[in-house]
Every structure is written in structure tokens, then in C-alpha cells.
Structure 1
Amino acid sequence: MKIALAQINPTIGDLSGNALKIEEFFAKARDQGAKLVVFPELSLCGYPPRDLLLRRDFLAEMRETYVKLRRKLKGAAVILGLACQQAEDPLLPLLNTAVCFKDGEEIARYAKNLLPSYDVYDEPRYFEGPQRVSVFKLDGWALGLTICEDIWNLPGFTPYRYRFDPVSTLAQEGAQVVVNISASPFHVGKGELRKRLLSLQAQKNNVFILYCNQVGANDHLIFDGHSLAFHPQGNLLAEARDFEETVLVFDLDQEPVLQPVSQRREESLLKALVLGVKDYFRKTGFKGALVGLSGGIDSSVTAAIAQKALGAAQVLGVLMPSPYTSRESVEDAQKLAQNLGLKTLTVPISQPFGTLKEELQKALGKEPKGLTQENLQARLRGNILMALANEFGYLVLNTGNKSELAVGYCTLYGDTCGAISVLGDVIKTDVYALAREINREGEIIPERVLEKPPSAELRPGQKDEDDLPPYRLLDQVVRGFVEEGQTFEELVDRGLPEETVREVLRRLRIEEYKRWQFPPTLRVSPQAFGYGWRYPIAQRFFFHRQ
């Protein structure tokens, strides 16, 4: 049987637009001889639709769109995803559904059983799992349907185990081919993790595994596509490219079909962030981005990503020098803009900073303290960026990184402003790795930016490591605690300095209120701050030993 995995980039809520995209990709697959065309999880409405699922009008339009689409697609079988009300009682929780139909007639219907509620997932809020499966025949093959999390129920692949296992149940009921329609968000290393999982499932259950994943970005979540198929012996049968829409056509009993995919960690990270920015603007309808250019590594990498995502004409760099901005930083920002082909504006903050400082001194009867003066500068820059956003109808890209966000090394309503955070899930050492990836084929980010010690330049001679542990240590604590769930004792046992670990975890706990007010952050790690990080602000559980 010739099969097509159609990894598409749907827009959440654009039911008619998504239906047209499904028609387009169905035609491409059918023209290549596919007898079965598989689309991702909730492909009709886009994933995740969140509280759109609570609207009756949204559900009614989705149902109508599906019925019309089912009548149109002729000449091959189709599997796609949508959300459905339960026929017995529309007030029961919804079903996250996969349907298989051919020439207008529905052949099979399946509801997702395993509903994740960890990290960025919140599916029990909307759906329930019926704890049952079914096997159906298509072109002489026994097929079973699963959806995303249904296939992850092996030890070590999720934070907890589920009592019911859809894949092994399908195998016991005679399925030869298990189809998994998915909307599995990207993080660095996820591609290899999926390959290992799917190979194990294929071998364990002696079935073909067909895995079709969504591609594109929706808000903070990035989906890499990278659809896959595995033989019952665990061998890779087909592999789709990552971070692009594609149709992957292959036959169950022929040679593997392998499309090109990213080969390096930094390559996939850069592609993910570019796609995240590109889709955020395309799907919200905004045309241009503003980036504050300081001459430092974070703003340089953010600007380069924006230029790749939107094109140079749609990115405006803003220089906002203060009394403490070095000549080298201005030169580096200008050189970066020149290399990227960006237009720039320069709005110095020395005069408004001086005026505000004088007025505060009058009110206080003394000179404002150092931290107050530093944060004044950051908030002036935030005001300028937001004013220019109003003026041009652009969105501001936040340039902060995960290491600084973890310990609150940022200013509320200053450098925390923006419509989306590009690097908020990227630790500082990975920001440098991204810069080297951007410069892989020639200098874009000036070499001096990679060599000089990072500095906020908010006071004379300031360096980040005057206020923070060295990034090589800070990043290990952040990655170990936030992304890997390690404890204080485990981090110290790894050889990290006890005082450094204690101080980082102390600051991480008390700065939670800042993260609650941070922009949406593109997720590229197993655990990002933001939607999937749900720690309370007012709490007294100390992560570090007292």
C-alpha cells in the first residue's frame, strides 16, 4: 500500500483555510499514487486550539467544515484530526478524534485515549479518553488509529505512566499498521527521542508505525514536522524533512524514503527559532519587527533570526545609547545592521535619563541609588521601543535569554517588554552557539561581539559576571534544575559549587513574579519558562538547602 504522510502547517481557528490546505496536499499525494493520505492531530482546526474548544459556534463550524471536506476528497482514503462533541450528550467533554474516510464515506473513528496534563499540555481541560480502540481493514491491511500521546506510553518517555496502553491493545487485537497522527512540539533533541520511541514501539508490538506530525509554530509552540515510519523490526522506513511542509510518499514493502533533515543541534535550533518568529508574524498579521540593538550578543542573534524570518525590509533596528554605552558597542550594532541589511534609528537616552534622575533627586532629597538608575535606563529603552511600535504598527521582539530570566537579571517594563521572546528559552552558552551557526558561512555577527565580555552597560565598566555567576556555571544549574528536574543535592553532587547552586536557586525562586509578566517565549527546550512552567509566586518551598 502506498501511503502519504502530509505534514501541514495549519493556522489555529482558520477552518476554511486549513480545509483548503488539506485539499491541496491530498491532491499532491493522490497524484503520486498514494492510497492513504494521513494528516496531523487536530489538523482541521490546528493545535492547540485551547479555549476555542469551549465555544459552541467554533465546534459547529468545525463539524460543518469536516462534512463538506469529506464529500470533496475522492480517489484515496484520508485520515485527519478534529475535535468532536459526544453524540450521546454534547455536554460531556469533547473527543480529540481521528477519522478515516474514503470517497465520502467514513470508515473508522477513534478518540485519543491518553490525555497529557504536564508541561504545555492541558488536554483534560477539554477532552476525555474513552479507554478503547478499534481495528479496521483498508486495502487488505489491518489498521489501528492513535493520536500523539497514545504512542508515548513507554518507560522513560513521559513524566508518568498511563494505566491503559493503546498501542499494545491494538497489536493484541490484530493491527498490522498503527497510524499516529500527532502535534508534537519541538525541543532540541526531540527528533532523536521520537526515533528511539517509535522504533521501540514497532519492535515491541511487531507492527508498522506511521507517524504524521504537524509543522509550523502556534504562539510559543514550534512544531518541526519530521514525520516518520518504522518497520516492525524497528528499521526506519520513511523520514520527512523538518521545519517545512511536505508530502512524504512511500510503500510499506519497498526501499526507505528519506528526505533531508537537520544534521547539527545548532542548525535545528536556529531553524526552529526562525520558524517561530516567521509564523508568529504571519499568523497574527503583523508585518514588521523592532529590535533594540545594543551591540551585544543577545540583540545581535535576535536581529539575525528576525531578518531570516521576515526579511531585512521588515526589521527595524533601534540604537538607544546611554552615557555608559561604549563606542565599540555602537560600532558593533551598526556593523551588524549593515551586514543584515537592516534600517536603523538612533534615539539617545542620555538627556531623558538625566532629566528623570534630576526629578527623582528633587523628590527624594538625595541621588537615586545605583539599581534605580540602571533600571531607569532599561525602562526608557522599553518606552522608546513601544512608542516606535505604535508609530510603525510593528511588534517588539524581546531579546532576553533564559539564563538571565532564570535569576531575574532583567528589568520589568524595560528589557522584559515585547510581543514575543525569541531567546527566552535559550541559555547564554547556546546563544553563543547560535551566533556561531549564523556566522557559519561568513561573518554576520561581528566577531568582537562574540569575544567581548557580555555587559548591560548600565553603569561604568559593568560586566554581567559582576552580578552573576559565570555563565558556564549558571547555565549548568539552569539546565539541570529547570530542564532536567534535578535537586540542589544532585546539582552539587555533579561537582557544581554549592554556593553558586544555592544562590542561583534562591534567585530563581524569588524572581518568579517577573517571569509571570514576561512575553510569550518560543519553546525550544524540554522545559521552558512560561505556559508550561506553573510555579506559584507566593510560596515558601526553598529549592536550596537553608
Structure 2
Amino acid sequence: MLNVAVVQLNYTVGDFAGNTAAIINHMQKAVVGKADIAVFSELCICGYYPGDLLEDTVFLQKADVALAAILQASKDYPTLVSVIGTVRRNPGQGKALHNALLAVRDGAIIAEYYKQLLPTYGIFDERRHFEPGREVASTIDVKGQKIGFMVCEDGWNDDEQDYQVNPFNALTKAKVDLVISINASPSDIGKRKQRHAMFSNASAHHQLPLLYVNQVGGQDQLVFDGASFAVTPAEGVVFEAGRFREDFQLIAFDDKKFSQANGRPLVRPDLTGLAVPDFTRRQIVLGLQDYARRCGFRQVVVGSSGGIDSALTIALAVEALGAENVIAITMPSAYSSSGSVSDSVKLCDNLKVKLHTHPILSLVEQYAQGFADAFSSKLQGLTQENLQARIRGTILMEYSNAFGALLLTTGNKSEISVGYCTLYGDTNGGLGLIGDLYKTEVYALAHHINERAGCEIIPHDVLTKPPSAELAPDQLDTDSLPPYEELDEILKWHIEGRRLPSEEFARAQAFVEQLQATEVGMKTLSRILGMVARNEYKRRQAPPIIRVRARAFGSGRQMPIAAKYTH
């Protein structure tokens, strides 16, 4: 029987000392648990994804030093095989590096495998830095079990649609007993189900049991959910590690089957998955926790308008960092409703968040006078509306600079898509929590937070008031945009399309087809698509957002600014 330690950790890019210490600590833990093999995740030594740090000589030297430390430590555990991910230099033609899997034991590398399929789409750009490995299987024998290896994307091409190479074929020819895949697979809506289906199908197709080990944690826009798992040809997914947390599990493998380390049957995981609001909450909370920690921020500050977006942002920040580390600022103007302040007060009372008040009326008046004096023109219309947003953005940045708090921007995906936001105003900030949530999803998540708490965290009035920027008299979002229930279907169809879960795509497609059947509908569709195209320049200058969907703004959607779009 082969005893396997599944090591699911939260690595930091470039933290070689911290990552190495965690790896060595869990090697020791694996030995204490009588494991024969400990499996870590893709590029665990340097963290995923290092980007152009891979072109930094010092970075690569530190990776070498870290590997040497792990090899030295492995001498203390001479019977343990540790499977780790790191960077290796390419001595041949092509890119200078390989994305490598190493199996180490007793101070030596006993197997070295280079990732064959390098994703260069969406959020991935691995071909920028790495050369693909040769089309061969890498195997080792441990306690009578022949183990073959792959790295992440290598397992995603069993239908042979995206690449000419299918690494499963070489492993099948090598007649391995078990496939171990190390991964850095970012999380998004539907990704867990997709992983399970992809690897269960491949396992059944090739009659190969497989262990899939993933990392966990937030890295810039990406969040990794862990959820490492094992599949067998006959049963599909038979084991799963924790989601959105570090985990260390001991399992056994023998006769093509997995079991508990004591030989008892595994408890089958619940494959239902999380409801979308619960998933997005966990994804965003973990993303903020790690972003703040890695960037050195203890506190965050949020502009509280009394609206749903800022309310949800504050509630999520409290869950991630604690109420004592969240600061809210309300900045009423001449056009602010009474609820903009009172609802902010009630929200912050519910969450025990400190709320500051900083009115902006006198500042707006001073700007208006200065504008008139300098340009002999009255400050009015859109210019005056945007000025209010920019004054608020400046105040928030003042607080951030003065007290060292990370400013969280509060824009949602619907507004960001169509440019319903002000550059250098409400787009100010270091991170956006809800920038990958459509407005209808913002409401759904707010309701979920209240339901989960069993009380009214986000006030009823915030949930029911008509959305408004409150930058002009009696202003409503619907003055400029279709109702969000309609707008979101158009945006999902246009921005994500078939990347959506099948039911969601079918609903969006049906709605757009209805619009296309009428002249009025076609005008609406054309207007919205035009707004998306024209506002690429705003998105390019906006803060990073935590990704929750398959196609998020940022690295996942790369569009030109200066282009002619035809709709």
C-alpha cells in the first residue's frame, strides 16, 4: 500500500524563504504520518504565477538556493519522495526556462518532468517564459507502484482539441498505476465542476487513477481554491481536500483504488458544490485577505454612499479583515439623499465599523467658483457630476495616504462594463472586491450575507432603494442604462459568451435573440455594445479586481483602446 500526503498550501510569489520553510515543514509532517510520498503543487517553490520575475537573474538564483535547501532537508527523511514544482533552466533551443516537476528523495532528484502544454490564453501567458517539455512520460516506482507525472494544463487536452499533444497517451503507454498531477488552477464560477468532469473522463478513458493537487490562496486578481482531489476510472471523484483553505491529508493507494490511510474506505465528497453567492463570498474574502497581507496592509478604507455596492464591499471587508480594520467615510453633497448618510450609519452600526463624515458641498462650490473665474464658464452637467466623484476619490486617497489603509473601490461589473464610473473618482483604489460581479449578483450576494447572518446586516432600505449615483437632482441609474436585469444579460452574452455555465449562457442568448427580433431591441443592443467598447480606456486605468468568473476584466480580457468597433 502506498501512503500519500496531499499537501495543499498557500504560497507567496517570490517568498522563497517562506515557501521553502512551509514545504520542509510539511515534508516532516508527511514522515510523521508515515507517508511514502508527499505531493505539493505547481511552482510551489517560487509561487504561481511569477510573471516577468522569471526574467530576473536574482529571482532565479533564489529559486536554485531554495531547491538546494529542500534537497538538503530531504536527507533527513531518506525514505520520503517529495513531488514539488519549480523553475528549471532549458539548456537547449527555445525559451530559457521549463515549468518543472521534480521528485526528490534523500538529497537527490530521482525524476524530472517538464510541463508539455503551456497555457497562453485568458489569464495565462506561460509560453512567454517557458519552453514545452518533450512528449515523453516521466515515471518512478514507489513501493511497487509505478507513478507517472503531469503538470496542470497537461491534463486538460484529452479531447485533443486545443493542442496536438495529449500527455495522457504517453502515460497510458508507460502502463503507470497512478498519475499525479500538480497544479496551480485558479478558481472561478463552475471551475470545480469542470475540473471534476475533465479528469474523471480522462481517468475513465485511459483507465488511470489520478491524484490532482492544487494550491490555495489569493495572488493579485486570482484566487486559488485548493479542492485537491482523487479520481478512479470506475467511481470518478472519491476524495477532495478542503476548499478555500490550506489542508494536509493522508490517503492510501493500492490496487488502482484510494482509501483512507488506515485502509478504511474514503468518505465520498459532496459534489454538489456551493451556491453561487456563497462561492463568490468565499472567493472574494480569501482574495482580499491575501492581497492585503501580501501587500502589507492591515486596514482598508471604503467610501460609503449608502448604496448597495459600497454596503456589500464594507460587509465583505469586515468578514475578511475584522470590523476593527475597516474604515468607512460618508461624503454627502447637495444631491445626496437623506438615506445616503442614515443608511451608511445603520450599516456601519450593524457591522461595528467606524464611520467618518466628510461633507463635500463647500469643496464643490469652491471648485465651481474657481472654474468660473479661470474659464469664464459655469461648471455644470456631466463636468459637475464627475467633479463630485473626483473630490470624493481625493478625500479617500487622502485618508489612505495619511493612515496607510488600502482603498477599496466599489464598482461592479455592470457599471465597469459600460463606463458608468468616473476616472480618478469612484475608480480610485488599490483593489476592487465586486468588480467581477454583475449588479444583479451584487444584490444576490447582499441577500445571502443577511440570510447567512440570520439578521439584517445590510439594511433593508439599501436593498430596496433604486440605484443612483446621486450626482444630480433625482438621478437614477435607469436614466442612463436599461434595468440591470436586462443589462446584465446583454453583458454576460457579450463579455463571457460560451464561457458562461450552460444554463446561464442559454438564458443570456435567449434574451439577446429577443432584442434582435425588434428594431428597438437592436438599438438597445447596439448602444450597450458601443458603451462597452468606448470605455476600454477606463478599465485599463482601473484598479485590479478579484476574479470570480471565467472572463474578468484585466489580464483575462485584452482589448485595444484605439480601435473601430462594428456592432
TM over 0.5: yes
Contact 1:148–1:180 (Cα < 8 Å) also in 2? yes
In 2, distance between residues paired with 1:528 and 1:342? 30
1:392 paired residue among 394, 403, 407: 403
Partner residue in 2 for 1:322: 333
70-79 or 279-288, which moves further after superposition?
70-79
Partner residue in 1 for 2:66: 65
Deviations 1:451-474 (A, max 9, x none): 111111111111111111110111
Partner residue in 1 for 2:280: 269
Partner residue in 1 for 2:262: none
Deviation at residue 154 of structure 1 after TM alignment: 3.7
In 1, distance between residues paired with 2:233 and 2:400? 54
Query: What is the identity, as a one-letter code, of the residue corresponding to 2:131?
Result: E
Deviations 1:352-380 (A, max 9, x none): 01111122233343322311110000000
Q: Secondary structure at the residue paired with 1:79?
A: strand
Partner residue in 2 for 1:53: 54
Map residues 227-306 of structure 1 onto 2, 5 A cutoff: 227-252=228-253, 253=257, 254=259, 255-257=265-267, 263-306=274-317
Partner residue in 1 for 2:124: 121
In 2, distance between residues paired with 1:432 and 1:293? 16
2:100 paired residue among 97, 100, 106: 97
252-261 or 528-537, which moves further after superposition?
252-261
Map residues 85-164 of structure 1 onto 2, 5 A cutoff: 85-87=89-91, 92-133=95-136, 134-155=138-159, 161-164=162-165
Deviation at residue 57 of structure 1 after TM alignment: 1.5
Partner residue in 2 for 1:410: 421
Partner residue in 1 for 2:456: 443
Q: Secondary structure at the residue paired with 2:7?
A: strand
Contact 2:158–2:168 (Cα < 8 Å) also in 1? no
In 2, distance between residues paired with 1:309 and 1:250? 31
Aligned residues between the structures: 538
Query: What is the identity, as a one-letter code, of the residue corresponding to 2:121?
Result: Y
Deviation at residue 421 of structure 1 after TM alignment: 1.0
Deviation at residue 499 of structure 1 after TM alignment: 2.4
2:477 paired residue among 441, 464, 482: 464
Counterparts in 2 of 1:234 and 1:258: CA distance versus 1, 3 Å = closer
Counterparts in 2 of 1:72 and 1:258: CA distance versus 1, 3 Å = farther
2:545 paired residue among 508, 521, 530: 521
Q: Secondary structure at the residue paired with 1:439?
A: helix
In 2, distance between residues paired with 1:513 and 1:485? 25
Q: Which runs of 5+ in 1 are unaligned?
A: none
Identical columns (%): 40
304-313 or 270-279, which moves further after superposition?
304-313
Partner residue in 2 for 1:507: 531
Deviations 1:422-452 (A, max 9, x none): 1111111111111011112221111111111
Deviation at residue 167 of structure 1 after TM alignment: 1.5
Deviation at residue 135 of structure 1 after TM alignment: 2.5
In 1, distance between residues paired with 2:192 and 2:168? 20
Deviation at residue 136 of structure 1 after TM alignment: 2.4
In 1, distance between residues paired with 2:266 and 2:163? 33
Q: Which TM-score applies when normalising by structure 1? A: 0.95
Query: What is the identity, as a one-letter code, of the residue corresponding to 1:482?
Result: I
Query: What is the identity, as a one-letter code, of the residue corresponding to 1:450?
Result: L
Q: Secondary structure at the residue paired with 1:436?
A: helix
In 2, distance between residues paired with 1:150 and 1:18? 24
Q: Secondary structure at the residue paired with 2:90?
A: coil
1:533 paired residue among 557, 561, 564: 557
Counterparts in 2 of 1:92 and 1:365: CA distance versus 1, 3 Å = closer
Contact 1:154–1:161 (Cα < 8 Å) also in 2? no
Q: Secondary structure at the residue paired with 2:118?
A: coil
Partner residue in 1 for 2:502: none
Deviation at residue 485 of structure 1 after TM alignment: 5.4
Contact 1:239–1:257 (Cα < 8 Å) also in 2? no
Query: What is the identity, as a one-letter code, of the residue corresponding to 2:88?
Result: C
Partner residue in 1 for 2:363: 352
Q: Secondary structure at the residue paired with 2:514?
A: coil
Contact 2:299–2:405 (Cα < 8 Å) also in 1? yes
1:340 paired residue among 343, 348, 351: 351
In 2, distance between residues paired with 1:423 and 1:82? 33
Deviation at residue 33 of structure 1 after TM alignment: 2.6
Query: What is the identity, as a one-letter code, of the residue corresponding to 1:147?
Result: V
In 2, distance between residues paired with 1:371 and 1:125? 43
Contact 1:143–1:175 (Cα < 8 Å) also in 2? yes
Contact 1:167–1:178 (Cα < 8 Å) also in 2? no
1:498 aligns with 2:509: no
Partner residue in 1 for 2:213: 212
In 2, distance between residues paired with 1:316 and 1:289? 6
Contact 1:480–1:491 (Cα < 8 Å) also in 2? no
Query: What is the identity, as a one-letter code, of the residue corresponding to 2:438?
Result: I
Deviation at residue 309 of structure 1 after TM alignment: 1.0
In 1, distance between residues paired with 2:40 and 2:153? 16
359-368 or 513-522, which moves further after superposition?
359-368
59-68 or 490-499, which moves further after superposition?
490-499
In 2, distance between residues paired with 1:353 and 1:420? 27
